[in-house]
């Protein structure tokens, strides 16, 4: 399942509906995320890269 982790800017007024509409205009139907997960920040490894393993764990918990 395609999911998107969103780190909104401080005063951004985003919700799932707005994001789905935007994605449907820009992406193919099969690429549109089924889930939008809002987080304060993306998990990073000790090197500073995005920790994909933790993202997968977060996706499974939601």
Q: What is the CATH number of domain 3-61?
A: 3.30.300.30
Place of tokens 């799932």: 16
The pLDDT score that the predictor gives to residue 1 is 80
The pLDDT score that the predictor gives to residue 62 is 66
The pLDDT score that the predictor gives to residue 21 is 95
The pLDDT score that the predictor gives to residue 42 is 95
The pLDDT score that the predictor gives to residue 12 is 76
pTM score, whole prediction: 0.77
The pLDDT score that the predictor gives to residue 19 is 93
Give the torsion through C-alpha atoms of 42, 48, 54, 59, to 10 deg: 30
Residues of the chain with pLDDT below 50 are none
């Amino acid at each position: 399942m395609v999911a998107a982790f969103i780190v909104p800017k401080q005063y951004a007024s985003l919700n799932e509906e707005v994001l789905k509409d935007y994605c449907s205009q820009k992406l193919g139907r099969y690429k549109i995320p089924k889930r939008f997960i809002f987080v304060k920040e993306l998990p990073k490894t000790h090197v500073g890269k995005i920790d994909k393993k933790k993202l997968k764990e977060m996706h499974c918990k939601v």
